[in-house]
Amino acid sequence: MAEQVEVDVLGTGFDAMGTLAQRMGIEIVEASAARVVGTMPVDGNTQPLGLLHGGASCVLAETLGSIAATLHATEIGVGIAVGVEINATHHRAARAGTVTGVATPAHRGGSLATYEIVITDDEDRRVCTARLTCMLRRTA
């Protein structure tokens, strides 16, 4: 497993106790405005049939895309990013192991940023493709 990267977006302490990402076991292994990579265990994030829950895939996607969008917002001097739309297509089931998400930009503007997030299983098979759009906001 890759070493976890500490990501402190605008001093918010992304890895702080009590966050949803932490509860789901999400670990960030690479982070920049151009690419964010993270992993999440399937175990503990399943639906009653023992398959990775689609909502868990969306949490991973939104976490990675939001980090990337916030890093972009910081780079251009805007401030923060807040999610306004997410969609996901679930291609196949994951039953065990770890899934890996990679967020890359589809659009990085001054008021909106959109990221595509591809989630794969341990065998590098695509589990989910998501798209997240974030509104970029100035901090107070």
Report the pLDDT value the prediction gives residue 14, as an integer from 0 to 100.
46
Four-CA torsion 31, 66, 107, 117, nearest 10 degrees: 70
Report the pLDDT value the prediction gives residue 12, as an integer from 0 to 100.
43
Report the pLDDT value the prediction gives residue 15, as an integer from 0 to 100.
46
Report the pLDDT value the prediction gives residue 7, as an integer from 0 to 100.
56
Has 123 been annotated as catalytic? no
Average pLDDT, 10 consecutive residues per value, the chain (140 residues) = 52 54 93 96 97 98 95 92 96 98 98 98 98 91
Catalytic residue selected from 62, 75, 85, 116:
62
Which CATH number does 9-138 carry?
Answer: 3.10.129.10
Q: How far apart are CA 94 and CA 107, in angstroms?
A: 29
Report the pLDDT value the prediction gives residue 58, as an integer from 0 to 100.
98
Q: How far apart are CA 90 and CA 121, in angstroms?
A: 12
**How is the chain split into domains, by residue range?**
9-138
